[in-house]
Amino acid sequence: MELVKSVMVESAIQELRDDGATLSASRISAATGVHRKDVSKLLAAKPLKHREKNLVSRVIGQWQADRRFCSAPGKARALGVEGKRSEFAQLVSTVSADLNPYTVLYEMERLDLVSRHGAVIKLTKGLFLPRGDIKQSFALLGRDVEDLCEAVQENVFNNPAVPNHHIQTEYDNIPLERVPQIKQWLFNEGAKWHRKLRSYLSQLDRDLTPAQSTGPGRARVVLGSFSRIEDVSLALKRERR
Q: What is the structure's pLDDT at 89?
A: 92
Handedness of CA 21, 104, 52, 228 (dihedral sign): negative
| C-alpha to C-alpha distance for 80 and 90, rounded to whole angstroms | 10
Q: What is the structure's pLDDT at 181?
A: 96
Helix 55-65 × helix 101-110 angle, to 10°: 100
Q: What is the structure's pLDDT at 2?
A: 53
| C-alpha to C-alpha distance for 3 and 101, rounded to whole angstroms | 9
Q: What are the extents of the domains in the chain?
A: 2-123, 134-240
Q: What is the structure's pLDDT at 131?
A: 62
| C-alpha to C-alpha distance for 219 and 233, rounded to whole angstroms | 45
Alpha-helical regions (H) of 97-217: 101-110, 134-153, 179-202
Mean pLDDT, the chain cut into blocks of 10 residues (241 residues total): 60 68 73 75 57 69 85 85 89 81 84 88 77 67 86 94 95 94 93 83 76 78 91 73 64
Q: Are 122 and 78 in contact (CB under 8 A)?
A: yes
Amino acid letter, 231: D
Q: What is the structure's pLDDT at 50?
A: 44
- First-last CA distance in the chain: 68
